[in-house]
Amino acid sequence: MARFSLRWPPLRRRPRSRADGDAAASGSAATAGLVPHVPHADRFTFQDLVVEATADIGSRPGRLAMTLVGTVLGIGALVATVGFAQTAAHQIARQFDAVKATQVVVAPGEAPAASGGSVATTRLPWDGVDRVTRLVGVEAATLIAEVSLGADTITAVPVNDPSAAVAASPALVAATAGLLDVVGGHLVTGRMFDAGHDVRADRVVVLGSRAAERLGINRVDRQPSVFIGGVPYAVLGVFGDVQARGDLLDSVVMPLHTARAERALGAPGEMQMRIAMGTGPQVGEQSAIALSPHAPENLEVSAPSARSNLGDSVSADVNVIFLILGGIVLLAGALGIGNVTMLNVIERVPEIGLRRALGATGRQIASQFVVESIIIGLLGGLMGAALAVVSVVTFSAVQQWTPVIDPWIAVGGAVLGAVVGLVAGWFPARRASRIEPVTALRGGS
């Protein structure tokens, strides 16, 4: 049964006039000062509006629960997807930033040559590693150079069979002993050559995992060798999973001074450093001076900024997708609120007619249904936002991630629920405000 209240207007004493004095003299003093007070529309306060709007919400628990389900799912999906997107973007950005924000590369600058092409304007010193490792913020450094093979090939056998098909030879790279520490690689088997091998120019190499697979070498306990132009080089180890310079996995790496002695390497190609987070600008400026004190401007330095924007970029791209999906789900919740509010209007037509007959205006009737829809939307928004936050935190704890969710997203989810309720309840409230008292009391719509 619909709930409504009848508030009879109180009797109020009006100010006494001269006519009242004459009436009192004639013996009607007991009743002459009391007159009915006609209530005005503005006496329907906001408190009365909230009371009337919430009186019917809890009268149908089943319908209320079904209405809230759509809103809870809509807001919950929206807040949860944004939270999951922010958390995932943070994890992705943290892994990328760990590599990008800690790598500095210094290479000789180039200038156009008279005969065409370009020529290096300076050279990196052979003792460059010793120079830059003294700088604050530099954790490890290595000199790297690509070595030309010319007509030579790299094979796993001393003599090639002329009748056999010749596979493409792996690339040959020279580097100092700190290579794997700088690029974030790890050994699959064996060991890395050390500074002693480099100083003595020993004929030793390490293989990238893909180069080792191509050469058919997967273990080093039997002291295998590769042959570069027919010259044997002992294989000390195989490395894989480098975080920077993935091209090294297809390469054979020998000590830098071995390449200088055996392959006539003229100068290192570039200096690569692993630095502490946030020291990129400082190390980039100082390393150029340390490597070329007289002409640091002739070196090209690639250093990360103090703060990487990768996390923000990833989060923005992922959020766009999930916001669209969440908006679609939220639209379904809004339609649910609108349908239930319209059903309430149809069922409460007699009540609306009685209220209009007692003096309620169309605006008051519309406000009642709008506030009722807003309250339902707000409840759904609060429950959905809370459920989404719990889901993000729980999932992050299971995955051992750091949950990242903006508190204003949760607050905005609750407010958005109220806005959805406002929009969904506007049309039913407008229809309720146009119901005429006589038609409603006769049972019409």
Q: pLDDT (tens digit, 9 = 90+) per residue, 355-400?
A: 777 777 778 878 877 888 888 888 888 998 898 899 888 988 888 8
Do the domain assignments include residue 228?
yes
Of the candidates 252, 261, 255, the residue with the CA atom closest to the CA atom of residue 169: 252
257: pLDDT confidence band, cut at 50, 70 and 90?
Answer: very high
Higher per-residue pLDDT: 259 or 396? 259
Determine the Cα–Cα distance for residues 271 and 86; give it in Å rounded to an integer.
36
Same domain, yes or no: 393 and 244: no
Q: How many domains does the chain have?
A: 2
**pTM, full prediction:** 0.53
Q: What is the pLDDT of residue 141?
A: 95
What is the arithmetic mean of pLDDT over 74-84? Answer: 79
Same domain, yes or no: 88 and 127: no
Residue 149, both tokens: 């093979």
Do the domain assignments include residue 268?
yes
Same domain, yes or no: 338 and 223: no
Do the domain assignments include residue 24?
no
Same domain, yes or no: 235 and 149: yes
The pLDDT tens digits for 400-415 are 888 878 888 888 888 8
241, 271, 306 — which closes off a domain? 306
Residue 259, both tokens: 């390449």
Do the domain assignments include residue 315?
yes
Same domain, yes or no: 128 and 270: yes
Do the domain assignments include residue 59?
yes
**DSSP track, 380-445:** HHHHHHHHHHHHHHHHHHHHT------HHHHHHHHHHHHHHHHHHHHHHHHHHHT--HHHHHTT--
Residue 121, classified by CB atoms within 10 Å of its CB into exposed (0-12), middle (13-18) or buried (19+), is middle
Same domain, yes or no: 252 and 275: yes
Same domain, yes or no: 272 and 142: yes
Same domain, yes or no: 327 and 366: yes
Do the domain assignments include residue 18?
no
Residue 439 has pLDDT above 50, yes or no: yes
Same domain, yes or no: 396 and 434: yes
Do the domain assignments include residue 254?
yes
Domain extent at residue 327: 45-94+311-441
256, 291, 306 — which closes off a domain? 306
